Amino acid sequence: MTNMIRSFLAMMALLLFQQGFSQKFEQLALTPPMGWNSWNKFACDGVNEQVIRKTADAMVSSGMKDAGYEYVVIDDCWQIGRDSSGNIMPDPKKFPSGIKALADYVHSKGLKFGIYTCAGTLTCAGRPGSLGHEYQDAISYARWGVDYLKEDWCNTEGQNAQQSYKLMRDALYKAGRPIVFSLCEWGSNKPWEWAGEVGHLWRSSGDISDSWSKSGADDGRIWGGSVLVNLDLQQGLEKYAGPGRWNDPDMLEVGNGGLTTAENRAHFSLWCVLAAPLIAGNDLSNMSKETVSTLTNKEVIALDQDKLGKQGYLIENEEYFQIYLKPLSGGDTAICLFNRGDQTKEANIDWKKYKIGAGHSIRDLWKKQAAGTTATSFKASIPKHDVVVLRLSN
């Protein structure tokens, strides 16, 4: 072998070796992840291991597991510092049994376990971030049995988002345990354009709040969003979503008290039609019947979890009335009629206007009954802030 061939082969081997670690785990989150996260309800002060255990219990006993929810994710404030070797340490007051024991408990219920970190020096709540410890933290997560990691974007001054998230992606891959990777940089660096190669979902809005329409000072792009603000930020992003790569308009507020029954139903339905991750954010151990029936409507969840993985988009956009369409596998179509206004909407849908043929049967997924065919126009009286969700079948 000449020296040239030898050095060429050495270079190829090096490239292959590097590439081996430069990828996300494939075959994960082929449909939008479903689960629960502690932040919306318990925030920093309220989270501890009892909450996580009770949540895992309730996910099973409430029927949510049966409806498809599987990840139990601890958000910020589980971590307190690093030991002398730099290993991340859980807060011993909140998590006295340690993270491994908690992950084992969650797994014993047939569920999966998730955790939170931040790409910067400190998390958004001021706990230690992963900057400079990515590989070490990924090894801890893998050892503990973590299945899902959310990585936030606070305290990242001077950092490049793509590079930072790729670093954690590579660290997770090297640690060897398949972990769903959830990027949480709020859409600041247009993650939909690059994060498909990096993680399985990426936030495409700022933080939701338990509010229908509130908008923060920055239009909800980072702080103080709401159902409507976060929803509207998804427009035009549908082409970036698909199996293993999802836009994330933030976690659900269903059941947290700030929304009416109609608003909870609309919020949930719209997230399903958007193929959004369905991460509940309420107290699962204390849910009203209404909350349970909203969160566990299997026919609406089936739209979200449809294996074609298409994100729904607007086909009608009046000021107070919108129609979302989501193509489904097998040629079915989901339609969400959404009354944003404060008056009841008397909808009269002429299917031809949307190039929907006459040959479909219609099922109303909240009334859970057949609702005619597309041969005639569809009439419905939709209360304020409510939806009618239809499945059109061949």
The window from 117-125, 289-297, 322-330, 339-347 that contacts ligand GLA (CB under 6 A) reads: 117-125
- The answer to whether residue 42 forms part of the interface with ligand GLA (CB under 6 A) is no
Place of tokens 């608003």: 263
Q: Give the span between the Cα atoms of 138 and 130, in whole angstroms.
A: 9
The window from 120-128, 159-167, 235-243, 376-384 that contacts ligand GLA (CB under 6 A) reads: 120-128
Q: Based on CB atoms, which residue is closest to ligand GLA, 221 or 340?
A: 221
* Shortest CB 92 distance to ligand GLA, Å: 20
Closest CA to 102 of 37, 67, 58, 54: 54
Place of tokens 């991750």: 277
Position with the least CB separation from ligand GLA = 124
* Shortest CB 388 distance to ligand GLA, Å: 30
Residues in the chain: 394
CB within 8 A of 90, min separation 6: which ones?
78, 79, 80, 98, 99
Residue type, 207: D
Q: Based on CB atoms, which residue is closest to ligand GLA, 206 or 244?
A: 206
Choice from 49, 75, 134, 306 touching ligand GLA (CB under 6 A)? 75
* Shortest CB 252 distance to ligand GLA, Å: 12
- The answer to whether residue 185 forms part of the interface with ligand GLA (CB under 6 A) is no
* Shortest CB 108 distance to ligand GLA, Å: 26
Alpha carbon 32 to chain centroid distance? 7
Q: Give the span between the Cα atoms of 194 and 163, in whole angstroms.
A: 11
Query: Count of residues binding ligand GLA (CB under 6 A)?
Result: 9
Q: Give the span between the Cα atoms of 62 and 68, in whole angstroms.
A: 12
Choice from 35, 62, 70, 76 touching ligand GLA (CB under 6 A)? 76
* Shortest CB 184 distance to ligand GLA, Å: 5
The window from 83-91, 119-127, 191-199, 274-282 that contacts ligand GLA (CB under 6 A) reads: 119-127
* Shortest CB 384 distance to ligand GLA, Å: 29
* Shortest CB 208 distance to ligand GLA, Å: 8
**From start to end of the chain, where are the E strands?**
34-37, 71-73, 79-82, 88-90, 112-118, 148-152, 180-184, 201-203, 246-248, 278-280, 313-317, 321-327, 333-339, 345-349, 361-364, 369-373, 378-382, 387-393
Q: Give the span between the Cα atoms of 147 and 250, in whole angstroms.
A: 19
DSSP 311: P
- The answer to whether residue 184 forms part of the interface with ligand GLA (CB under 6 A) is yes
Judged by CB under 6 A, the chain residues 121 through 180 that form the site for ligand GLA are 123-125, 152
The site map against ligand GLA for 264-303 (x = CB under 6 A) is ----------------------------------------
Give the relative orientation of helices 49-61 and 98-108 as an angle to the nearest 10 degrees. Answer: 10
Q: Based on CB atoms, which residue is closest to ligand GLA, 76 or 137?
A: 76
* Shortest CB 381 distance to ligand GLA, Å: 37
Judged by CB under 6 A, the chain residues 200 through 219 that form the site for ligand GLA are 207
Neighbours of 267 (CB within 10 A): 25
Written as six digits, the tokens of 68 are: 């498809």
Q: Based on CB atoms, which residue is closest to ligand GLA, 184 or 347?
A: 184
Q: Based on CB atoms, which residue is closest to ligand GLA, 76 or 332?
A: 76
Judged by CB under 6 A, the chain residues 299 through 338 that form the site for ligand GLA are none
Written as six digits, the tokens of 246 are: 């999802």
DSSP state letters, 19-67: HHTSSPPSSS-SS--EEEESHHHHTTTT--HHHHHHHHHHHHHTSHHHH
Q: Based on CB atoms, which residue is closest to ligand GLA, 146 or 337?
A: 146
Place of tokens 């933030």: 250
State whether residue 297 is helix, strand or coil.
coil
Q: Based on CB atoms, which residue is closest to ligand GLA, 39 or 148?
A: 39
**Catalytic residue IDs:** 152, 207
DSSP 223: S
Q: Based on CB atoms, which residue is closest to ligand GLA, 231 or 323?
A: 231
| Chain residues that interact with ligand GLA, rule: CB under 6 A | 39, 75-76, 123-125, 152, 184, 207
